[in-house]
């Protein structure tokens, strides 16, 4: 039975900032979570309305009638699927004294609930103070969007610290865009563009920006100021379009008609983001010093706009000297000075925009959804709390691929051709796209497969070994003479072996790969790096599926024997591993051992494979999450190790790949559980509660760092995610378990350890 969450809030088509906020949050939760969690909405109305709501709106109440709150409580209590309730709170939404009608619902509600305060006022009157204290007493948690709001609740309302959680206002995941190119689509050419958006009202103080524009125009005659959005419906209800007419008259008086453009309608998301993509400077001119948070301010920052903002708490908390300029309330001269300074310095504007883009990535709606759902998790059945598997998106892979190969790095989501190419990345990409083609038979895959295969062949030297680094123009990078290339050689053999094990490709491509593989085999016997040998074992296993050659089995035994020698040198009863530390790509080693068992039938390989893999899993799975060994510090034997940041997608993906193999061969359900947990790491089940996969591009971020996600979406990370996602294409929850494989025997492991 599915679990339900009920949101009590204003909701579209009612035009209201909180309605927009809730819509975005619910959409993000749905995009992140499996269908086993249903979202229902109770829409709040102020008097009789005739809104045409979407299907998620199951309840509607007129907030002016106390009895309707009571009826709502009874309906929610009677629905056993409803596990919790979210109240979106603003004082003006609920009737009564300071909105105290809401307690007609909360006093009767038997389900746990959380309250989001969209406004937190300092120095409260007695009755407001009592209402907030009552919320804190009844609610499981109070949510606010800024640290300053939290401090007000703690100091002015004496709310316990553990009762208040900060989750930032959400922002939309947008592509990194070049503003000049975007302006061409609007016909604005190279005009400098200022913008303000949102439902218009007197508190917006747009007139302050217009006064500033007079001075700005003197130095930038072609300046364009976009005032985006219709007048707030609540204001229209009471005074019509008085404020807009006031602004239009002022534009005429100041002779700014050629410099101001009003976009007088409610902007849908895509239109809004398009306008922000061409904005050189965003003006936030609110004159309300108690405005706790602004969604418009947050959206502008996340769209890479440098900001000039008045000093509301949200702006003071988020805006710093490297992202914008703070000004005092209703001070057009300060706005003009700041704007002229930024308009004269394009480099500074671009750097501020870039900093703002980076600074707000943690606030994207998907991350806000993860944070919010983590608070609801205690109230939802564990079996219902699952992340949704996103559709496969190859756009970033195609963007990162030229006719030569897969580009190594990206600048955010823009391929950085100056970084050139590596065999490592193109070998991974060859395997990934082969798997994709096996599943979907997409003709466009074949072009990519040929590019990646050709790159591997291009990197092969006359003696059969491989280089790793190639410049953008195809020249050989000097790093090939300075680094150990055993891993690259192992990856090349692994990719060639996998490709040759498939019988679905054109004969000419198979012949090319066969020729390259035969040359490679002449020069691999001396490789001794553990991970390099693991790649070789995998490649030889796949190659031998078609060849059935005893010499290939001998090579597998050679490399596996060396791994066993490593194991016996360092392993003891508390350390089942091949080295005295856990470093990168750890799951590759036991995975290779299991492939060696599949190739040879040697039970010792099977025993060591399982023992080492289970040992690794015991170190990286904690509290229902995977935390792979970070590049901030390896995990050493007989040392007190601390968890570091710098978790890499490639390590999570390699763990998933190994879990897939171990589950298919050994059939133990815990491997399947761990596999799904590991994939959820990409979706936000990690120590930061942030997505690592980027659904807007199809790319994958480069890792979890101490202060956030590395936003670059390079080849290694993106291909690693795709490999993991392709494995998830299988229906694991319905997959029949296999139990016919050899069991792990502790005594046999002990006998192997005696070989030391």
Band of residue 750 on the pLDDT scale cut at 50, 70, 90: low
d(CA 683, CA 556): 36
Bridge partners, 226 (sequence order): 195, 261
What integer is the mean pLDDT of 82-100?
95
What integer is the mean pLDDT of 116-135?
95
pLDDT at 449 over 90: yes
Strands 699-700 and 703-705: unpaired
Q: In the prediction, which pLDDT does 44 show? A: 96
189-192: Cβ within 8 A, 24+ apart: 191/222, 191/223, 191/224, 192/220, 192/222, 192/223, 192/224, 192/280, 192/281, 192/343
Q: Which superfamily does CATH assign the domain made up of 179-363 to?
A: Glycogen Phosphorylase B; (3.40.50.2000)
Alpha-helix residue ranges (DSSP H) falling in 59-178: 66-78, 103-106, 126-138, 147-156
Tokens read off for 26: 């619910």
Number of neighbours of residue 297 by Cβ within 10 angstroms: 26
What integer is the mean pLDDT of 721-748?
63
d(CA 581, CA 635): 5
What integer is the mean pLDDT of 454-473?
97
Short-list 584, 578, 582, 546, CA closest to 559: 578
323: which residues sit within 8 A by CB, 6+ positions away?
301, 306, 307, 352, 355, 356, 359
pLDDT at 432 over 50: yes
pLDDT at 363 over 90: yes
Portion of the chain with pLDDT greater than 70, in percent: 96
Residue pair 305/218 in contact by the 8 Å Cβ criterion: no
pLDDT at 30 over 80: yes
pLDDT at 129 over 90: yes
E strand map for 537-673: 581-582, 621-622, 625-626, 635-636
Q: What is the largest CA-CA distance in the chain?
A: 94
pLDDT at 738 over 50: no
pLDDT at 483 over 80: yes
Q: In the prediction, which pLDDT does 742 show? A: 45
More confident residue, 260 or 523: 260
Residue pair 453/502 in contact by the 8 Å Cβ criterion: no
Does an H or E element contain 540, and which?
A: helix 530-547
pLDDT at 25 over 90: yes
Band of residue 371 on the pLDDT scale cut at 50, 70, 90: very high
Number of neighbours of residue 193 by Cβ within 10 angstroms: 23
Band of residue 753 on the pLDDT scale cut at 50, 70, 90: low
Of 229-238, 413-422, 462-471, 586-595, give the lowest mean pLDDT range: 229-238
Residue identified by tokens 């299907």 is: 55
pLDDT at 744 over 60: no
d(CA 86, CA 76): 12
CATH number of 395-753: 1.50.10.10
Which of 233-242, 373-382, 595-604 holds the top average pLDDT?
Answer: 595-604
What integer is the mean pLDDT of 8-18?
92
CB-hemisphere CA count at 13 Å for 599?
Answer: 32
Band of residue 16 on the pLDDT scale cut at 50, 70, 90: confident
Write the pLDDT tens digit of every residue in 227-267: 999 998 888 888 999 999 999 999 999 999 999 999 998 88
More confident residue, 361 or 266: 361
Q: How many residues does the chain have?
A: 756
pLDDT at 741 over 50: no
pLDDT at 755 over 50: no
Phi, psi of 417 (to 5 degrees): -65, -25
> What's the mean per-residue pLDDT of the chain?
92
What integer is the mean pLDDT of 59-73?
97
pLDDT at 6 over 70: yes
Intrachain domains 179-363 and 395-753 with the same fold: no
d(CA 105, CA 110): 10
Q: In the prediction, which pLDDT does 740 show? A: 37
Write the pLDDT tens digit of every residue in 287-331: 988 887 788 888 899 999 999 999 988 888 889 999 999 999 999
576: which residues sit within 8 A by CB, 6+ positions away?
567, 611, 612, 614, 615, 749
What is the per-residue burial (b if ≥16 Cβ within 10 Å, else e) of 449-476? bbbbbbbbebbbeeebbbbbbbebeeee
Tokens read off for 293: 């948070």
pLDDT at 536 over 80: yes
Band of residue 182 on the pLDDT scale cut at 50, 70, 90: low
pLDDT at 12 over 70: yes
Residue identified by tokens 């005659």 is: 221
pLDDT at 607 over 80: yes
Residue pair 498/539 in contact by the 8 Å Cβ criterion: yes
| Domain layout of the chain by residue ranges | 3-166, 179-363, 395-753
What is the per-residue burial (b if ≥16 Cβ within 10 Å, else e) of 250-275? ebeebebeebbbbbeebbeeeebbbb
* 648 alpha-carbon distance from chain centroid: 14
Band of residue 736 on the pLDDT scale cut at 50, 70, 90: very low
Write the pLDDT tens digit of every residue in 717-733: 999 999 999 999 875 44
pLDDT at 79 over 60: yes
d(CA 589, CA 569): 16
Q: In the prediction, which pLDDT does 523 show? A: 87
Band of residue 381 on the pLDDT scale cut at 50, 70, 90: confident
Q: Which superfamily does CATH assign the domain made up of 3-166 to?
A: Glycogen Phosphorylase B; (3.40.50.2000)
Q: In the prediction, which pLDDT does 464 show? A: 96
Does an H or E element contain 537, and which?
A: helix 530-547
| C-alpha dihedral (170, 171, 173, 174), degrees to nearest 10 | 180
What integer is the mean pLDDT of 560-576?
95
Does an H or E element contain 356, and which?
A: helix 346-359
Q: In the prediction, which pLDDT does 676 show? A: 93
pLDDT at 739 over 60: no
pTM metric for this prediction: 0.89
Write the pLDDT tens digit of every residue in 623-650: 899 999 987 778 899 888 777 788 999 9
Of 22-26, 180-184, 411-415, give the lowest mean pLDDT range: 180-184
């Amino acid at each position: 039975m599915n679990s339900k969450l009920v949101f009590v809030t204003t909701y579209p088509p009612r035009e209201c900032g909180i309605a927009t906020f809730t819509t975005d949050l619910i959409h993000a939760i749905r995009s992140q979570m499996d269908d086993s969690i249903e979202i229902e909405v109770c829409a709040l109305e102020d008097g009789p309305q005739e809104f045409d709501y979407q299907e998620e709106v199951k309840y509607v109440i007129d907030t002016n009638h106390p009895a309707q709150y009571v009826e709502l409580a009874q309906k929610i209590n009677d629905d056993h699927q409803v596990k919790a309730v979210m109240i979106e709170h603003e004082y003006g939404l609920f009737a009564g004294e300071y909105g105290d009608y809401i307690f007609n619902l909360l006093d009767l509600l038997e389900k746990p609930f959380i309250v989001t305060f969209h406004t937190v006022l300092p120095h409260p009157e007695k009755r407001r103070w009592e209402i907030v204290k009552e919320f804190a007493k009844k609610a499981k948690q109070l949510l606010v969007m800024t640290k300053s709001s939290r401090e007000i609740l703690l100091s002015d309302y004496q709310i316990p610290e553990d009762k208040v959680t900060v989750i930032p206002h959400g922002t939309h995941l947008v592509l990194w865009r070049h503003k000049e190119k975007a302006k061409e689509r609007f016909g604005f050419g190279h005009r400098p563009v200022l913008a303000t958006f949102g439902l218009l009202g007197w508190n917006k103080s747009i007139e302050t920006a217009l006064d500033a524009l007079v001075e700005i125009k003197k130095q930038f005659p072609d300046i364009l100021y976009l005032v985006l959005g219709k007048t707030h419906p609540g204001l229209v209800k009471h005074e019509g379009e008085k404020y807009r007419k006031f602004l239009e008259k002022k534009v005429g008086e100041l002779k700014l008609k050629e410099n101001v453009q009003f976009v007088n309608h409610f902007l849908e998301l895509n239109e809004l983001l398009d306008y922000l993509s061409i904005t050189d400077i965003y003006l936030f001119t609110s004159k309300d010093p108690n405005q706790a948070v602004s969604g418009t301010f947050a959206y502008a920052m996340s769209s890479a706009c440098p900001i000039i903002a008045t000093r509301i708490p949200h702006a003071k908390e988020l805006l710093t000297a490297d992202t914008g300029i703070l000004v005092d309330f209703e001070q057009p001269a300060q706005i003009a000075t700041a704007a002229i300074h930024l308009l004269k310095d394009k480099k500074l504007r671009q750097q501020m925009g870039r900093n703002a883009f980076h600074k707000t990535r943690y606030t994207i709606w998907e991350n806000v959804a993860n944070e919010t759902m983590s608070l609801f998790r205690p109230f939802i059945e564990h079996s219902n709390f699952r992340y949704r598997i996103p559709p496969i998106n190859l756009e970033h892979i195609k963007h990162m691929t030229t006719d030569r190969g897969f580009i190594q790095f990206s600048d955010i989501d823009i391929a950085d051709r100056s970084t050139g190419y590596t065999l490592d990345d193109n070998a991974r990409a060859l395997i990934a796209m082969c798997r994709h083609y096996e599943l979907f038979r997409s003709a466009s895959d074949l072009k990519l497969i040929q590019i990646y295969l050709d790159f591997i062949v291009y990197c092969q030297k006359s003696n059969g070994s491989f280089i790793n680094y190639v410049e953008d123009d195809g020249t050989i990078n000097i790093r090939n003479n300075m680094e150990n290339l055993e891993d690259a050689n192992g990856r090349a053999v692994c990719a060639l072996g996998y490709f040759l094990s498939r019988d679905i490709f054109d004969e000419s491509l198979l012949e090319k790969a066969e020729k390259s593989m035969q040359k490679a085999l002449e020069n691999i016997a001396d490789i001794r790096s553990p991970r390099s040998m693991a790649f070789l074992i995998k490649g030889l296993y796949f190659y031998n599926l078609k060849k059935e050659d005893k010499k290939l089995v001998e090579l597998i035994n050679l490399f596996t024997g060396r791994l066993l020698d490593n194991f016996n040198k360092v392993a003891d009863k508390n350390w089942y591993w091949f080295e005295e530390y856990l470093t990168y790509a750890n799951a590759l080693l036991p995975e290779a051992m299991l492939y060696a068992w599949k190739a040879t039938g040697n039970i010792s390989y099977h025993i060591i494979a399982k023992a080492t893999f289970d040992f690794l899993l015991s170190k990286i799975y904690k509290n229902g999450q995977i935390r792979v060994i970070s590049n901030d510090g390896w995990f050493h034997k007989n040392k007190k190790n601390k968890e570091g940041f710098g978790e890499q997608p490639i390590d999570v993906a390699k763990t998933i790949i190994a879990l897939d193999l171990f589950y298919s061969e050994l059939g133990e359900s815990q491997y399947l559980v761990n596999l799904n947990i590991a994939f959820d790491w990409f979706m936000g089940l990690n120590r930061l509660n942030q997505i690592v996969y980027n659904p807007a591009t199809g790319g994958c971020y480069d890792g979890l760092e101490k202060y956030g996600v590395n936003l670059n979406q390079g080849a290694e990370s993106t291909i690693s995610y795709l490999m993991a996602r392709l494995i998830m294409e299988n229906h694991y929850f319905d997959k029949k378990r296999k139990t016919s494989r050899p069991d792990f025997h502790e005594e046999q492991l002990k006998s192997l350890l005696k070989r030391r």
